[in-house]
Structure 1
Amino acid sequence: MSPTSALFTPLDLPNGAHLKKRIVKAAMSDSLGDGRGNPTRAQMRLYERWALGGVAAAIIGEVQGDPRFAERPGNLVLHDGSDVVAFRALARAGAVGGARLWLQLGHAGALTPPAIGSPKGPSALNLPGLRAGELTLDEIRALPDHFARTARRAEALGFGGVEIHAAHGFLLSQFLSPLFNRRGDAYGGGIGNRMRLLLEVTEAVRAAVAPGFTVAVKLNATDQLDGGLQPEEALEVVREIGMRGVDLIDISGGTYFPGAASSSDRATSGPYFLDFARAARRLTSVPLMATGGFKQRREAEEAVASGNVDAVGLARALVLDPDIATTWQNGGPDPRFPRFDASPPSGVTAWFTMQLARIADGRGLDPDLDVIAALEAYEARDAAREGVWNARLSRRNA
C-alpha cells in the first residue's frame, strides 16, 4: 500500500459533509429489525462495530416509509408510529469515531412479499413467482412527498443522510426499466418519462432537508436482464440526477426479481460497473461510488486512483472483516471469501445475512456454516416475524 493511497484520503461531498476516507459500507438488508419496524440492540451494535472498524459512512439497507411495501419483515420502518428513542440510539451508535450513518429509503413495489404487504408496481405483472397490481396515477403522485417526509424524519432523529434506492429491481428501479414499466402515461414510455418519478422523488427529498444533510441516489448501471434497463439509458439518468442537488451517486446493478441472479452472486472476477462509472464520470461532477465485487485492497485503490469513482462501496467484505477499512489502511490482508460449490437461490445471501446476526451478537463468524442451514434459518426467522409484522404494521397507513 502506498502511504499516499487515495483510498484513505478524505472526501468532501457537495453539501459539505466530510468523509474521512473513501470506503463506505454499502447498503445490505441486514434484516435485524424487531419485526415491528424498529431497530434492535443487535442492529445498533452492528453499525457501531462498522463505525469503529473505520468506514467513512455506512448505509442501512431498505428502510421503509410505508410498511405496506416492505422488502422483508426485518426491515426498519420510519413513520409516525416508529420508536423514535430506538432510532435515535441507532443514529448515535453508527456515527461513533467520525463515521456517517445514512438510511437507504426503500419501497419494494412489485417485489413486496404478499405475506406482509401489497405488491404493486408501475405496471401489473403476472409472471411465474411474481404477481403485482398497477399503481394508480394518484398513488404515484403521492410518492415524492412520501419519500420527503421519511427523509425529514431521518434528519430529525440524527442521521447524517439518506440514499434513495433506485436499483436492484425495487420500485424506483421498476419505473426505470422498460421490462417492468409498460405505462402509457407521463411515467412510461421513453427514458425521459420512466425517470420522471425518480427525479420528482429526488427533488422532493432535497427540498425537504437541510443543505448539509446528505442526499445520495443508488442507480442500476444495468438490470442485467434482457429487455431491462441498459447502460445507455442509465447514463441519461445519471446526467439528470446529477443536476438535482444530490451529493453522491452510488452505482450498482442487477435485480432481485424471481429467477434473476443478483450481481453479488455472479461468478465474475473483479469489481463490477467500473466501465459504466468511467462513462458516467464524463457526464457529471457529482461524486460517484461503485458498489459490488471489491474483494482486494488493490482493486479499491485502483478504482479511486483512476478518478472514475470517488469512493467504493463494500458489503460482503465487511461481513468477513468488519474492520476491513482499518485492516487495509494498516497494510493487513484481504478478506478470504468462501467458496460455495452449489447453492439454492438466495442461499449465499442468507449465509452472509446470518453471519451478520452473529457479528451483531458479538459471536464472530462461523466459517463452517452450511449454506442450506443458513437459508433455512433465514427463512424461518422471517416466517416467525410475519405475524408480528402483520399485527403491527401491514394495514397501517404511512
Structure 2
Amino acid sequence: MHDSLTSEQILQRPLILPCGAVLKHRLAKSAMSDSLANGQGDPTAAQIRLYERWAQGGIALSIIGEVQIDPHFPEKPGNLVLSQDSNDQALKALTGKASIDGAHLWPQLGHAGALSHPPISQPKGPSALEIGDFRCQGMSIDEVQQLPDLFAKAAAHAKAVGFSGVQIHAAHGFLLSQFLSPLFNRRTDGYGGSVEARCRIILDVINKVRSAIGSAFPIGIKINATDKLEGGLTQNDALEVVRLLDGTSVDLIDISGGTYFPEAKATSDASGKGPYFLDFARRARSRTTTPLMLTGGFKSREQAADAVASGAIDVVGLGRAMVLDPCLAKTWSMDGGRGLDFPRFESAPQGGITAWYTMRLTALAEDRENTFPIDLISAIRDYEDRDAMRCEIWQQRFGRFSSP
C-alpha cells in the first residue's frame, strides 16, 4: 500500500486523463457484450436500465462492449450499431440515464472482422484463412483504408448523442486485434509483416478518431497482452504495440487477453486467484506514460488496490464482478468492503459460462436478479434462442448474408 492510505482510499482517488477528462475514482465497468440491443442495433429499455444501475452503483466509467461501426460485421445480433440509421433518441436516453453522478459512459467501437457472426455476416479479416473448420475472406486494400473513416464517423456520432468518450476495440480476436496477430494477418502490403506494419491501421484509426472528436474527448483502446493462440500475438510484440500507442493521443490503454477464436479457451473462464496479465502491465508501464487499465481476474478490493498502489496500473476493469454486484463500486468505497463469491461451474461447454453471465446481465437489466438462480443449461438455451430470434430481426433491418 502507499504510505498510510487504506485500500478504499487508494481506489477513490480521481484520475485526470491526458485529454483533461476526469474519472472520479479508479474502478471501471469493463466492456462486455451485453446482447441487450433490440436486434436492429438500437438500445432497449432493459439496456438503458442496466447502465443506469451501474451508474447508480457508483462506477466511474462504464464501457458498452461491441458497439459496431458497420452492421455487416457484428459480433452478435444483440450489439448496438452507430450508423446514420440509428435511433438517436434511444441512444440519448441511454447516455442520459447512464451518466448520472459523474459516471462516464463510453461505447467500445468495434468491427468483428473474421469473427463476425456467420448467420448475419460474411466474415472477413485482414487475410483469407482456412484453419480447420474456420474460414474467412480477406479484406481489399480499399476496405482496409476505409476503416479509419468508419471509426471516426462512429466516434463523432457517439459524441453527438451524449457519450463522454470512446474505446477502440483492438483485443479479443476481433478485427483490429486480427491485424495485430500474425495468425490472422498474413498481408504482404504495408499493413502486414512487422509489428509496426501490423499496428499501422490502428494508429491511423486513432488519428482519424482524434481529428473527428477534438482534443478534449477521451479515447481509450483495448489491446491484448497475448492472444493465447499458437502463432498469435506474443507478449513481446504486445509491448511494442504499447510503445507505439505511447506516441498517439490515446488517453487510456485497457489491457486484456485471449480471443474468441473457435476452440480457444477463454481467459475469463480460468479459475486463477489473481488478476490476469498484471505482470504484463508492470512491463508495459515502462513503455508508456499513458494511463493503464487492467481488466480481468480481480476478485477483491485488496487485489484492486494493490495493483493501483504498485503503480503498474491506474484503473481497475471489472466485468463479471459487476454482474454479480452492480453496486460494487460503492461497496468497495466503504470500510470493510467485502469480496465476491463467484459461482463455480463443473464441465461447462465452450461459451456456456459467458452465456450464464449474459443472462444474469439480462436479469439485472430487468431488476429481477434476486430470482435469477438459473442453471447453466437453461442459460445457454435462453441465450441461443434469443440470438436466433434477433438474427431474423437483424437480417430484416440490415440485409441477408451467408457464410463464405
1:252 is matched with: 256
2:145 is matched with: 141
Alpha carbons of structure 1 residues 314 and 365: separation in structure 2 relative to 1, 3 Å:
farther
Superposition deviation, residue 128 in structure 1: 3.2
1:342 is matched with: 347
**Distance in 2 of aligned mates of 1:95 and 1:393:** 30
1:329 is matched with: 333
Question: Normalising by structure 2, what TM-score?
Answer: 0.96
Give the conservation status (yes or no) of the 8 Å contact 2:295–2:316.
yes
Give the alignment partner of residue 356 of structure 2, picking from 345, 351, 355: 351
Deviations 1:41-87 (CA, angstroms, capped at 9, x unpaired) = 10010000000101100000000010000000000011000000000
Match runs of 1:266-345 below 5 Å: 266-330=270-334, 331-345=336-350
Give the alignment partner of residue 385 of structure 1, picking from 385, 390, 401: 390
1:236 is matched with: 240
1:163 is matched with: 167
SS in 2 for 1:26: strand
Unaligned stretches of 5+ residues in structure 1? none
2:70 is matched with: 66
**Distance in 2 of aligned mates of 1:221 and 1:345:** 22
**Distance in 1 of aligned mates of 2:345 and 2:275:** 19
2:206 is matched with: 202
Q: CA RMSD in A?
A: 1.3
2:132 is matched with: 128
Superposition deviation, residue 313 in structure 1: 0.2
Give the conservation status (yes or no) of the 8 Å contact 1:112–1:118.
yes
1:81 is matched with: 85
Deviations 1:296-322 (CA, angstroms, capped at 9, x unpaired) = 111001000001100000000000000
Give the conservation status (yes or no) of the 8 Å contact 2:61–2:105.
yes
Give the conservation status (yes or no) of the 8 Å contact 1:67–1:394.
no
Superposition deviation, residue 367 in structure 1: 5.9
Alpha carbons of structure 1 residues 394 and 237: separation in structure 2 relative to 1, 3 Å:
farther
SS in 1 for 2:151: helix
Unaligned stretches of 5+ residues in structure 2? none
Superposition deviation, residue 366 in structure 1: 4.8
**Range 361-370 or range 292-301, more displaced:** 361-370
Superposition deviation, residue 332 in structure 1: 2.5
Alpha carbons of structure 1 residues 85 and 191: separation in structure 2 relative to 1, 3 Å:
same
2:227 is matched with: 223
**Distance in 1 of aligned mates of 2:384 and 2:232:** 29
Give the conservation status (yes or no) of the 8 Å contact 1:355–1:365.
no
Superposition deviation, residue 267 in structure 1: 2.6
Letter in 2 for 1:91: T
1:108 is matched with: 112
**Range 45-54 or range 326-335, more displaced:** 326-335
SS in 2 for 1:115: helix
**Distance in 2 of aligned mates of 1:58 and 1:189:** 35
2:218 is matched with: 214
SS in 1 for 2:201: helix
